[in-house]
Structure 1
């Protein structure tokens, strides 16, 4: 089978120009509607990599109030973000309790719930965040969540930007500067457009404080499938190009409006767009790739930089809750089991996906 990989054609069904209608992705009350009729026919939908199931857990009770899903690469970062948001919105835990990793039996991802906020790790790269997004979107459906907003908070390499700069992605391209996420499905190449919510981007940019000791910018993000060669680094195990060729490539990215490079933006933007979910990708640069390949900033500086995207997302969430009159929230995301037998089955099934 031969498939075109050009910018305008694909083999089989290409969704690159698809316009998604509201009634395809949400019910009249705003709750998430899946674009997969098979799920409604299943006796139980097991979210293997989250160690949750629609038959084993009361997902409406556990997650029905979720408005914001915030995701980042590492479990520790997202645990820290959960604690940060607890302080920001005045969320209090019952005496003698602590935040619980809801996905502790999956051994894949970590998830914490702080009122209407889910803080979940997505691992590294497109395949990892893609698996998570499929299951998180299904979780929103089973929990009957209304108009959720997704944020990705992470780190990146800047293109002509100093380390510590916050970048809000306006657009996402792959390593060939294609504005779609390409995936082989049943032997056919399917292209899904990489779109972020423009209104959400403007609202986030407006929340950047002029007194912040760093810049907050918007621009195109390049998503690479690899940390080393895919990003033009010279320090991988292999390198079949010169430093001059590397610099020509990076400078061409800059000329095309690319402000940063990371490894999840195309998948994140394409799948949230496919689901009709508002989303934004906010990263902090750890270095300017025009000046080198290796991160040289001290650990304490890097730790401070990594909080900067969290601060911006925190401002948005806090402002939203204040406008809705919801700022002081109790509860700590406990497990609500519907069927002990199925609960045990879900744990066992999740642990087999090593």
Structure 2
């Protein structure tokens, strides 16, 4: 059966672009008396979502709950907000699936590892932003990745999120049919972020394609998993083909993130730091303190962008 191609910047957007708001693409929600955002432990009946989240302008998501708490504390300090950073609470503390922290107009949320985990989070996040009547929201995925021909510590701003065949698309099976959505991200936002990176010392940054896989080991061509069905030469040949296709890093969430944000009229960007060059190995041997500094680089870049947008920087 041929896949169904949904170009989310085509007719799907008619009647919505002028609203400049987050919108969901599910007519069934209109007939629901209550929408329970189960994995956030939030609900339209038990929580005043516009009051809680209506001022959100920036959403930053990342895999690790601890890292997203640290980012919330970091952005709190960067924006010189009142209160103690240690008092920032997890809005989703009633569940152990995700963690969420609100700091002024910034929302920081963990999404776990892999496409299924971030997909669940995004469904509920997008509904949350819609219920809260948020407008002009920018979404950022900040995380770590394996570099393809790049030195460790390089931040990659994703041009296009591609699948394991280097195609800029995300495939979702719906009712036995393959739905294909575009994974192109906002070009202007990527350029603005690259410009911001040039204003920050010691922050090597490039724009390139990001390959999203469904597995950390065999799916990414690693030789160190419990299973391996290929040779070193085959691995390197695949990485060379990826590099020739413009791929500069590999992770496990970018395609669904790009596709869902694109459909729902959200300006989005993916910024992942490389922890190693996959041409040189599969395991990370960099000292812990250096890795911590690497992982902070996408946070520094997004923070700089947010402060410029809010007028903190000239």
**Band the TM-score falls in, shorter-chain normalisation:** over 0.9
Q: Is the 8 A contact 1:74 1:122 kept in 2?
A: yes
1:120-163 CA-partner distances (Å, limit 9, x unpaired)? 00000001000000000000010000121100000000011011
Equivalence map 1:182-193=2 (5 Å)? 182-193=171-182
Distance 1:320 1:114 in 2: 16
Distance 1:197 1:211 in 2: 22
Structure 1 residues 252 and 96: CA distance shift in structure 2, 3 A: closer
User: Secondary structure, in 3 states, of the residue corresponding to 1:222?
Assistant: strand
1:133 lines up with 2:133 in the alignment: no
Structure 1: unaligned runs, 5 residues or longer:
5-9, 326-354
User: Secondary structure, in 3 states, of the residue corresponding to 1:65?
Assistant: coil
Q: 2:43 maps to what in 1?
A: 53
Distance 1:314 1:264 in 2: 21
Q: 1:98 maps to what in 2?
A: 87
1:296 lines up with 2:285 in the alignment: yes
Q: Is the 8 A contact 1:168 1:216 kept in 2?
A: yes
Task: Give the ranges of 4+ consecutive aligned residues of structure 1 lying more than 4 Å apart after TM superposition.
Answer: 20-27
1:14 lines up with 2:5 in the alignment: yes
1:295-346 CA-partner distances (Å, limit 9, x unpaired)? 1101110000000000000011000111799xxxxxxxxxxxxxxxxxxxxx
Q: TM-score, normalised by structure 1?
A: 0.85
Structure 1 residues 105 and 24: CA distance shift in structure 2, 3 A: farther
Equivalence map 1:1-354=2 (5 Å)? 3-4=1-2, 10=3, 13-16=4-7, 19-20=10-11, 22=13, 24-25=15-16, 28=19, 30-93=20-83, 98-209=87-198, 212-322=201-311
Compute the RMSD of aligned alpha carbons.
Answer: 1.8
Structure 2: unaligned runs, 5 residues or longer:
none
Distance 1:123 1:189 in 2: 25
User: Secondary structure, in 3 states, of the residue corresponding to 2:70?
Assistant: helix
Q: Is the 8 A contact 2:9 2:263 kept in 1?
A: no
Distance 1:211 1:91 in 2: 22
Comparing 191-200 with 96-105, which one deviates more in the overlay?
Answer: 96-105
Q: TM-score, normalised by structure 2?
A: 0.96
Structure 1 residues 107 and 256: CA distance shift in structure 2, 3 A: same
1:262-296 CA-partner distances (Å, limit 9, x unpaired)? 00010100000010100000010000000000011
Distance 1:211 1:18 in 2: 33
User: Secondary structure, in 3 states, of the residue corresponding to 1:293?
Assistant: coil
Residue 74 of structure 1, CA deviation = 0.6
Residue 27 of structure 1, CA deviation = 6.7
Q: Is the 8 A contact 1:20 1:276 kept in 2?
A: no
Structure 1 residues 20 and 302: CA distance shift in structure 2, 3 A: farther
Distance 1:53 1:280 in 2: 28
Distance 1:149 1:238 in 2: 39
Structure 1 residues 211 and 73: CA distance shift in structure 2, 3 A: closer
Structure of higher CA gyration radius = 1
Q: Is the 8 A contact 1:25 1:34 kept in 2?
A: no
Q: Is the 8 A contact 2:92 2:100 kept in 1?
A: yes
Distance 1:17 1:77 in 2: 31
Distance 2:18 2:46 in 1: 24
